[in-house]
Chains A and B, each alone.
Chain A
Amino acid sequence: MALLEIENLHAEVDGKPILKGIDLSIEAGQVHAIMGPNGSGKSTLSYVLAGREGYEVTEGSIRLDGHDLLEMEADERAVAGVFLAMQYPVELPGVTGMTFLREAVNARRKAVGEEEIDAMGFLKMVRAKAKTLGVTDDMLKRAVNVGFSGGEKKRNEILQMAVLEPKFCILDETDSGLDIDALKVVSEGVNALRTPERSMLVITHYQRLLNHIEPDVIHVLAHGRIQKSGGKELALELEQNGYADFVEAAA
């Protein structure tokens, strides 16, 4: 059985249907990409998977490792192994990066009945991972994302991913707002986290991110449905022809 199974997923926001029947299955270790024009429902899908309030699932199911995600709150999903790297990471004034990470790790440990993590060992581990992603000590001491540049915010997201070691990662428009150097650092960070057990769903508008994070499967999302699936060549096709075909086809 696949790690993630989405069946006939319908969802709406403020009573407006956005997702209109998504079927998607991702095997452990695979990286899938979802591409689509603006307004196709890409970000809605990521929020629905992560369990954000206000995103109402009206039909269908989502299973992670056989567990029904829709039965879980956002925090329970995170503990179960879902990680959403957000397009616009939220600022948390007054909450330092280290505190945030430690709270998140301890929440997982508590859920499985483990002791709280050793503070010194944890600090060392985070620092080591931070270094490879170019996240400075200063950024860890400061309030989460407050005063961070776009690139710093994205690197911080990947650092959280590295520390929390999720089973299933959603990268929502991780390339937006990044210059080419930052994109490289972030992609390398992501690639380092690819393992045979971990799956990823990379959501993006442009093909360029997929040069850095090579997906196994690409899906085109438009009008709330997956219109086409294929290999890497699909991304190149989209790069050349745009989304016009899909937008019109479904309209």
Chain B
Amino acid sequence: MADKATLPLLTAVPKTEGGSPWLTKLRRTAVENAERTGLPGVRTEAWKFTNLNALKALEPVAATGTAEIARLPAFADLQAVELHLSNGTLTHADAMPEGVDLVGLAEPDDAPDWVSETLGTVAETAPHPFTAINTGAFTGGIALRIRKGAAVETPILLLVDTRSLEGAGTVAAHPRILVVVEDGAMADLVEVHTGGGAYVNNAVTELVIGKDARLGHYKLQAESGEAFHIAMTAARCAANSTYDNFALSTGATLSRNEIRATLAGRHIEYRINGGYLACGDQHMDTATFIDHAEPDCASHELYKGVLADRAHGVFQGKILVRPDAQKTDGYQMNRALLLSREAEINSKPELEIYADDVKCSHGATVGELEDDQLFYLMARGIPEERARAILVSAYVDEAVDHIQREPIRDAFRAAAAEWMQKNIAGAPAEGGL
């Protein structure tokens, strides 16, 4: 039986007996995998640059109780149907648009077939101990299905909030999100993660994207400054689908945002862009993995990092092109801007290619603002501090601009601007650019 010694984050003894056979089996395998792997150390290549000692030292209890969740100002004007997950529990759900089914995952034993047949089939628990822990221990979350051919215009806004309530001490939540986009369906999902005080949010988002389907999936990680955010997004895309992913990280003391996608059919367009904005002593780790398993797919990735103060950024991006995946078009770029002498970046873009008829490239740059750009702005009369802020802001917006839906793009621009205003001297007001 799983215990705290092997898995310090496991806040509840998982139900690995009784219950529905599918869930029991899923949880049991997950716990076994988690115990076998243990929490990663710096010798684990995938976690080489992220020291988890502070997380391991925590003795969190299960997050209980719920609180009201308010939208962040940046998202105030976004027209959307809203879902709230407070401490892992579904506390609020607007009426879903036509063609969308919503199921809470508090009692997954009774979940319908489309949930039991897909949950845990995309987010692998080996060798991903945090995903395994989530799979073993999740007590709540949501499952969404976009029915075949449904074109959902209004974005679905999922607010995930974690905080210690009623003096519970440090808490841990393991929210689980499953989205099934059936063949030919279209939808946009926006995840916003917030919270208060010290806690662990160990989230798993699992996505199944059907043939000819389109999913826009946008995530803002704006956790409290004392929080640990460990998240796995795992997607499986079918032929002719489009997956537009964007993730912006601004919060948490330590965060790890891992995004894995398997392109399991032909002619898939996968866009994976994002940014990480860190200051103070924040540690932000972004890990992306793109599995080109079939021919004729395209992936485009641009990540931009801004690191101020003593912040430490980590970017690991891997593109795998399997032997059959001919005509793959893969592009990956990570740019990091260091704004202070104490900031640090580790960047590891990686290509692993087994097919010959491919076009794959990646790049990485690290540096400070370009002197000639700064001079150009100043030569037009703009003071240095302001000039720097304009350039940083424009730098981040270049990644944000890849978001395909305009209202959502505006919201993320505002979120980035909000961070800029708080943390970069001379930053222009939101909408100023």
Which residue numbers of A lie inside 8 Å of B, CB to CB? 50-54, 73-75, 77-79, 83-84, 86, 89-96, 99-100, 103-104, 107-108, 111, 143, 160, 164
Contacts and interface: CB of A to CB of B under 8 A. Distances in A.
Given A93-B398, A94-B395, A94-B398, A74 B390 contact: no
B379 interface: yes
A54 B181 CA distance: 57
B329 interface: no
Which size bracket describes the interface of B in this complex?
20 to 34
Nearest to A79: B381
A164 B433 contact: no
Interface in B375-391: 375-384, 386-387, 390-391
Contacts of B378: 51, 73-75, 78
B373 A104 contact: no
B429 to A, nearest CB: 11
Contacts of A96: 433
Interface string B355-385: 0000000000000001111011111111110
B375 A74 contact: yes
B70 interface: no
Contacts of A53: 371, 375
Interface in B119-160: none
A50 B394 contact: no
Contacts of A91: 373
Given A52-B375, A53-B371, A89-B376, A95 B382 contact: no
A62 B413 CA distance: 43
Given A73-B384, A103-B390, A94 B397 contact: yes
A53 B369 CA distance: 14
A49 B378 CA distance: 13
A103 B376 contact: no
Contacts of A86: 376, 379
B394 A78 contact: no
A184 to B, nearest CB: 25
13 contacts: A75-B378, A75-B380, A83-B379, A90-B376, A92-B377, A93-B394, A93-B398, A103-B377, A103-B380, A103-B386, A103-B390, A107-B386, A164-B380
A187 B105 CA distance: 70
Contact of B387 (A75, A83, A108, A160): A75
Contacts of A95: 390-391, 394, 433
A54 to B, nearest CB: 8
A87 to B, nearest CB: 12
B380 A160 contact: yes
Name, among B370, B381, B390, the residue most crowded by chain A CB atoms within 10 Å (CB to CB): B381
Across the A-B interface, give the 3 residue pairs with the lowest CB-CB distance, nearest first. A94-B394, A78-B381, A74-B378
